[in-house]
Amino acid sequence: MSLWVDQYRPRSLDELQYHRGLSERLRSLAASSDFPHMLFYGPSGAGKKTRISCTLRQLFGPGVEKLKIDQRVFLTPSKRKMEVNIVQSNFHIEITPSEAGNYDRLIIQEILKEIAQTQQVDLNAKQRFKVVIINEADSLSRDAQAALRRTMEKYMSNMRIILCANSTSKLIAPIKSRCLLIRVAAPSPEEMTNVLGYVAKRAGFDLPSEAADEIVNDSGGNLRKAILVLEALKMQSPDLSGELSIAKPDWEVYCHKVADLIVSEQSPAQVMVVRAKLYELLSHCIPPTVILKTVAERVVQKVDENIRADVMHWAAFYEVRMRVGNKKIFHLEAWVVKVMSIYKHFFYDIDMSAFD
């Protein structure tokens, strides 16, 4: 049983149910002779990848859906082997370089060189170029991004690059200027309700409107999440009527508990307790940025509004450091302690000027 998200995913630009203007533009781009490098960006679950694959289909026809998954082994400079999964068809190749950690530059270079130096041999191909899709482009290291910028110009005749990112702010300017930026915004609640209704219809049941509203509210513009929640709810209570309780994922509940810990007590011992929790979250592969964001949002709800701005300010501050640094826990903890300190001082009504 594949997931509904996968099963009912639109496959062509026509099937996309929202952002029709954008779909139109992509269609005409694909038809024109000069298809540019592109950068799709937008929040998670807005349909970036779906849109990319629809565009590919528009470009190359159904052949692009004949995929194979390769496991490629790269040798790092320190002679360690690294396995990276690569999804490819005859017309495109898809990589997620962030899987390779610090060696993403190496992988980008290797793969791009390989693609760029081989011409399209299929005479029936609609286009003379191949497409390289780079997922999670915003987690590329600076090195890798720098390596990309030269390649993008040099091999323009053989290859187009499509980057997919949540935000453009982590990409260097030269890359942004070489791409056509395409923003895929999160769907509006009405659009989401439509899509959910469509999915429900395909799956063979009617979705009560209250349930749809509930799900849409919970998902915060993330369509994938909404559909997954729908599927989960359907598994739990088949008729989808009455009180619906959308269970939050474990990690989110956990993050909220961490926030409660921070607010409940401020002491060195409590720092150790919170640290153990943070370690627990990290060891479950929850991205540190997500941890910081979730905990911070929860803390902000619980503290006085006078210090909310400070809490968020420091969250942003340490998030930047976390990106630069290696040891995520240091920065998470530094933020936790900072918040504890701010909270404590506010509580005891001590002059706050020192913390600005």
Partner 1 sequence: MPPKSSQAQVPKKASTKPSKVTNVVKLGSQPQTSSAAKKRFDPLTAFRNTPPSSQNSVEKPQEKVKPPVTSTSASKKGKGKGKEKATGRSFLRPTADQLWVDLYEPTTEAELAVHIRKVEDVRHWLIEAFEGGPTGKLRKYRRILALTGPAGTGKTSTLQVLSRELGFEIVEWRNAIGESSSAAAARPWDESSQDYHALRDYDDSESLFAKFSTFFNRAARGQNLSFCSSSSTQKPPSASSSTHSPPLKKRQIVLLEDLPNVLHQKTQSSFHDLLRAFVESPINPDVNAPAVPVVIIISDTGLRGEARDERIASGFGAGRDSEQIVDVRSVIPRELLQGPYVTQILFNPIASTLMRKALTALIQTHSKQHSDDDTFFKPSKQVLDMVVESANGDIRSAIMGLQFACVVEAPRGKAKLSPGNGAGKGDFVVEAVTRREQSLALFHLIGKVLYNKRKGDIPSSSAKAKDIQKDKELDAQLIDPPGLPEYLAEHERRASRVDIDTIYADSPIDSSLFSLYIHQNYPQFCNEVEEVEGVADWLSWIDSSGGEAWYQANPHQFHLLTLGTIHSLPSPVVRRSQKTYKPEFFDVLQKEKDARDAVRATREWVVAEDMRLNPEARRVCAWGANEVVLELGTILKLRDRGLGPVSVAGSTPTTSPPNQTPTISASPANSTNAPVTARLSRPPRAHRLFTTHLFTKHSSGSPGAAQVNERDAVDLDEGNNDEDDERGCTGAGGGYSLEGEDAEGGWLEGDDIEDFD
Please report, for residues 203, 218, 237, 238, the alpha-carbon distance to residue 207 in angstroms, rounded to integers and kept in the order given: 10, 16, 12, 11
- Considering only residues 172, 181, 272, 316, which one is a binding residue for partner 1 as defined by CB under 8 A? 272
136: left (phi over 0), alpha (psi -120 to 50) or beta: left
Stretch that binds partner 1, among 101-109, 119-127, 177-185, 297-305 (CB under 8 A): 101-109
177 CB burial (10 A radius; 0-12, 13-18, 19+)? exposed
Name, in order, each residue with C-beta under 8 angstroms of 122's C-beta and a sequence gap of 6 or more: 90, 91
How far apart are the C-alpha atoms of 50 and 55, rounded to whole Å?
A: 9
Helix (H, G, I), strand (E, B) or coil at 131: strand
End-to-end CA distance of the chain: 54
- Considering only residues 29, 125, 271, 312, which one is a binding residue for partner 1 as defined by CB under 8 A? 271
Is 44 a residue that touches partner 1 (CB under 8 A)?
A: yes
Is 356 a residue that touches partner 1 (CB under 8 A)?
A: no
Is 4 a residue that touches partner 1 (CB under 8 A)?
A: yes
- Considering only residues 53, 58, 151, 168, which one is a binding residue for partner 1 as defined by CB under 8 A? 53
Is 344 a residue that touches partner 1 (CB under 8 A)?
A: yes
Stretch that binds partner 1, among 31-39, 60-68, 149-157, 180-188 (CB under 8 A): 60-68
- CB 138, min distance to partner 1, A: 11
Is 228 a residue that touches partner 1 (CB under 8 A)?
A: yes
Stretch that binds partner 1, among 4-12, 19-27, 30-38, 114-122 (CB under 8 A): 4-12
* Cα-based angle 110, 112, 114 (whole degrees, multiple of 5): 70
Tokens encoding 7: 């099963």
> With respect to partner 1, which residue has the nearer C-beta, 44 or 117?
44
- Considering only residues 67, 75, 316, 352, which one is a binding residue for partner 1 as defined by CB under 8 A? 67
